[in-house]
Amino acid sequence: MAKTKPTNVPVEEFLLGVVPPKRQSDGVALAEIFREVTGTEPVMWGPTMVGYGSFHYASASGSTEGDWPRVAFSPRKAQLSLYGLKDLPEQVSLLPQLGTYTEGVGCVYVKKLEDVDLSVMRQLIAMAWNRTDG
């Protein structure tokens, strides 16, 4: 069962508490980009993840299942963590055009928004949002 679940904490309240200031301003900008692309309002997932929509997942073995945001981000102190942008083959092929980033197991890390092509980011978000398998 997933530990990260939706909360009732207002997203704006969370974003206003983000430090340092640059990470806060990037977080506010990301919230607007994700809102524009998805057409939906964000929800806090756990203490630090801003998520949009949700889907139910189950592992192939059936041992793990839960709900997860379709797309999400977290303005962490060291970098911006972007979730859902590398899950599909078409996203993986588009990712090199994003700009300067690194990858984790389930996410893409960006130091600052100026390092990436926002039109490519919007395409990656839209691909995740419109996926039909989750």
The answer to whether 68 touches 97, Cβ cutoff 8 Å, is no
* 42-56 tens-digit pLDDT: 999 999 999 999 988
At 80, phi and psi to the nearest 5?
Answer: -90, 130
pTM of the model: 0.92
Return the DSSP state at 6.
B
Instruction: Please state the rounded mean pLDDT for residues 96-103.
Output: 97
Neighbours of 127 (CB within 10 A): 20
Residue-wise burial string across 4-37, b where 16 or more C-beta atoms lie within 10 A, e elsewhere = beeeeeebeebbeebeeeebeebbeebbeebeeb
Which domains are delineated in the chain?
A: 11-129 (3.90.1150)
Q: How far apart are CA 8 and CA 4, in angstroms?
A: 13
> CA 108 from chain center: how many Å?
9
**pLDDT at residue 63 is higher than 90:** no
* 68-88 tens-digit pLDDT: 899 999 999 899 999 999 999
* 11-34 tens-digit pLDDT: 999 999 999 999 999 999 999 999
pLDDT of residue 1: 47
Q: What is the mean pLDDT of the chain?
A: 93
Least Cα distance to 51 among 22, 104, 14 occurs for: 14
pLDDT of residue 65: 83
